[in-house]
Amino acid sequence: MRQLYYTVQILLRGRGSNFIKLVSLTLGLLIGILLFSQIAYELSYENFYKDPENVALLRCRRVKDGISDKDYDDSTFRPAAADLWEALPDLIESASLSVNFYQPDCYIDDKKLEDMQVMFADTLFFQTIGLEILRGDPHELATPLSVFLSQSKARELFGDEEPVGKTFSMSKMLDVTVRGIYQDVPGNTVYPHNTVISLPTLEEYIYGRGTWKSNDIYNVLFRLKSPESVEAMNNRIQKAVERYTETKEGTDVMEFSILPLPDIYLSSPDNVRRLVILGVLGFSIFFVSIMNYVLAAVASFSRRAKAVGVHKCCGADGTHVLGMFMWETGILVATSIIACLVLMYIFREGIEDMLHVHLAELFTWQNLWVPSLTVLLLFLVAGVLPGRMFANIPVTQIFRRYTDSKRSWKRGLLFVQFIGVSFILGVLVTTIWQYHDLMTRSVGFRTERLAVGQLRTTENLSGQGVEDDIRRQPYVESVARNSNSLLSHYSTTGLTDIQGNFLCPLHFQNVAKDFPQTVGMQLVEGAWPEHIGEALIGRKVVETMKWGDKALGQRLPVNAQWVGLDSQPTVVGIVEDVRNMGFFMEQTCTAFILSDKRNGSYNVRLKEPVDENLARLNEFVKEAYPKAALEFITYMDIQRENYSNVYRFRNTVWITSLCIFFIVLMGLIGYVNDETQRRSKEIAIRKVNGAEAPSILSLLAMDILKVAIGAVILGTGFAWYVSGVWLEQFADSTLPSPVWFVLLAVGLLVLIVLLVILKAWRIANENPVQSIKSE
């Protein structure tokens, strides 16, 4: 208790330095705990299922001339589930089919339901994946228009009412009936869902039933009899598939394998890369926070040394002194934990949006070891390191001035902090530049003021009539129809060479006349399509097919019936490539075919102000077509949603950068204050001997620059390297110019020098007599 009493007295006397320590620890703990917990959360993907290691996903990839595609396709063919179960009954316990790429809008009456994460699945889905059914019979999923809801979604939609038997609308076209309730699915899954609709609903009303050669849209899951069955099945699966379908196409081979469910998330190099960078960011701010605490403690040596000597004269040994400092660190850490909890509560919504996970899911009992270990590590390092230094202060110092300034320690700690802040600011430059580049780079058409909406209805509406009604609105500049959003996955067919070897998929869709001009496509060669069956292609098609200057007049290998034509479409023009799959993937081959069939998507160019007119447009179509599902969204918003992970990562780096910058700023201020106080007599003597204020300031600035220059170069160089790793996930992306990193380093050094000058200004201009007479 006596140690605690002395500790409290010391804390009360050093309120200024303790405030700096507290802020530093709080910021470091807050960001460190959040980032480390996020990493642990993402490493636990799919682990909430029953025996998840026994569940495996079927995947395939193309092997061309003995060279495998880099990425696997996680969606395959419908018959694979039943056929492989039949072929390998000694390894497979059950098999299931599901589809999650199609996300229909759902309504109760005219109210659109928010956050409906839809999965279409068969009767064995829950058994195979390992989810508990709370109510209902899963065999109901064999019936079209049947749906199971998660427990929380059922409560959200129907409150305390009985959900089973309730109905809601799917795209205002089909009414589905709730047949059961299943356990909630946490957010740490690559297949999020809170609504499971029977697979026959999708196959009978939307896409049709897939075969071994068509509609490779199915996620095929197997529940194996043991985890060891994964390797055994991968050894036999290729031959098993070949019993049911041809896997060769020219010189290409479709290669099949399975992957355990818990390994799916980390099988993506982009996810691994992101977690590594989050770990580096978390470690950076956490380590800098600890070093700043130690720096503040070391800076107080000369002031507290005499007190330590007094304690030793009164019988305290090194262990007691260390214990006092551990008590001091413990109190500050406990206070910082409380401050962290308060900040999490106040900024909960912003934190959850940044991390894209609810804090209640992030800090479950299973994950509490992460913040606990973080706090323990902080306490031990921040307490023991300076505590041992205090414990080693000699007792004889009570009779004389303690002269050990620990300058090597101070400079070393400051060096580490400068590395940390320059590194994170360098990553910040890259993330800001990258997000701006993604949002402003050309996607092959003009997205400004352009909105898109998909019409779905059971009414016999004229597509042209709806288009004309929209065009007549005073806030609409132009409108044209096509098959679906330009920034989406189109219908696909294969492009092949003369020998019949597969080259790549061709993404195509139907468009109405004048559609290319309305959306702002850029014609490179040829003419705009004027007649049914004429088509535009992107530059990538010409390059892939090696058509050169003979592209015009070529026939596209598209099934004419798919696009409502009598014969294959003819190329009449070449346009700049449309980046329909975004910048995470390589440029696709695209084609746009003039047809009056299946054009249910409306592209509307609005007048300014866009947000206001978008709201007016949605209100108009809701009133004019109450039984139709038609809601418009701008292409800019689609892009923002597509790059939401980049946006969140950028914000994470923003917050981390601000916190670490603030921590380093406080550490630098403390260091300069301590140095000017320690060297006040030296500065006074220099002034008595004729030194001017500028030379004194230059002396102090050069002292800091000796530490800062090397640290900033190292930190900025490391930032450049990590930025390159981060940008590997984006196709066609390049690092910002090295000039930006150089400017960052120079700007940071200038800021450091300015701060030193501002803090040392008073002592450099002070009357030297004041310092000397206080000696």
Map 216-245 to HEC letters: CCEEEEEEECCCCHHHHHHHHHHHHHHCCC
Let me know if residue 481 belongs to a domain: yes
Dihedral of alpha carbons 449, 455, 459, 460, sign: positive
Beta bridge partners of residue 147, listed in sequence order: 178, 197
Q: What CA–CA distance (Å, rounded) separates 462 from 452?
A: 18
> Are residue 593 and residue 625 in the same domain, yes or no?
yes
Q: What CA–CA distance (Å, rounded) separates 475 from 466?
A: 16
Q: Note the pLDDT of residue 559.
A: 77
> Are residue 14 and residue 61 in the same domain, yes or no?
no
> Are residue 205 and residue 350 in the same domain, yes or no?
no
Residue that finishes a domain, picked among 604, 629, 654: 629
Q: Note the pLDDT of residue 768.
A: 58
Let me know if residue 127 belongs to a domain: yes
Let me know if residue 445 belongs to a domain: no
Let me know if residue 450 belongs to a domain: no
- Count the helices and strands in the chain (H runs, E runs): 24, 26
Is there a contact between 94 and 222 (Cβ–Cβ < 8 Å)?
Answer: yes
Is there a contact between 562 and 491 (Cβ–Cβ < 8 Å)?
Answer: yes
Q: Note the pLDDT of residue 668.
A: 79
Q: Identify the residue whose tokens are 């000058």.
A: 757
Cis peptide before 609 (omega within 30 of 0): yes
Q: Which residues of the chain have pLDDT under 70?
A: 1-17, 250, 299-318, 320-321, 387, 389-409, 674-691, 693, 763-775
Q: What CA–CA distance (Å, rounded) separates 393 from 4?
A: 20
Dihedral of alpha carbons 679, 681, 686, 691, sign: positive
Phi-psi region of 574 (alpha: psi -120 to 50; beta: other; left: phi over 0): beta
Q: Note the pLDDT of residue 398.
A: 47
SS3 260: strand
Let me know if residue 635 belongs to a domain: no
Q: Note the pLDDT of residue 403.
A: 46
Using CA atoms, how far residue 518 sits from 482, 512, 589, in Å, is 11, 10, 21
Number of domains in the chain: 4
Let me know if residue 560 belongs to a domain: yes
> Are residue 244 and residue 299 in the same domain, yes or no?
no
Let me know if residue 409 belongs to a domain: no
Q: What CA–CA distance (Å, rounded) separates 513 from 496?
A: 28
Q: Where are the beta strands (DSSP E) in 37-193?
A: 55-64, 67-68, 92-99, 106-108, 111-112, 118-121, 133-135, 146-150, 167-170, 174-182
Residue 335: domain span: 1-45+266-404
> Are residue 151 and residue 240 in the same domain, yes or no?
yes
Q: Residue length, the chain? A: 775
Q: Note the pLDDT of residue 97.
A: 95
> Are residue 484 and residue 613 in the same domain, yes or no?
yes
Would strands 502-511 and 523-526 be described as parallel, antiparallel, or unpaired? unpaired
> Are residue 230 and residue 329 in the same domain, yes or no?
no
> Are residue 41 and residue 65 in the same domain, yes or no?
no
Chain centre distance of CA 767: 56
Q: What CA–CA distance (Å, rounded) separates 673 from 758?
A: 11
Q: What CA–CA distance (Å, rounded) separates 701 from 99?
A: 64
∠ CA 454-457-458 to the nearest 5 degrees? 155
Residue that finishes a domain, picked among 265, 294, 318: 265
**723 Cβ partners below 8 Å, 6+ apart?**
426, 427, 429, 430, 735, 736
Q: What CA–CA distance (Å, rounded) separates 344 from 444?
A: 42
SS3 526: strand
> Are residue 109 and residue 258 in the same domain, yes or no?
yes
> Are residue 274 and residue 253 in the same domain, yes or no?
no
Chain centre distance of CA 80: 32
Using CA atoms, how far residue 444 sits from 376, 438, 516, 685, 732, in Å, is 53, 13, 10, 70, 15
Let me know if residue 168 belongs to a domain: yes
∠ CA 639-644-646 to the nearest 5 degrees? 105
> Are residue 255 and residue 124 in the same domain, yes or no?
yes
Greatest extent of the chain over all pairs of C-alpha atoms, in Å: 105
φ, ψ for residue 259, nearest 5 deg: -135, 130
> Are residue 481 and residue 371 in the same domain, yes or no?
no
Q: Identify the residue whose tokens are 């202060």.
A: 393
Q: Note the pLDDT of residue 302.
A: 60
Residue that finishes a domain, picked among 218, 240, 265: 265
Q: Note the pLDDT of residue 402.
A: 47
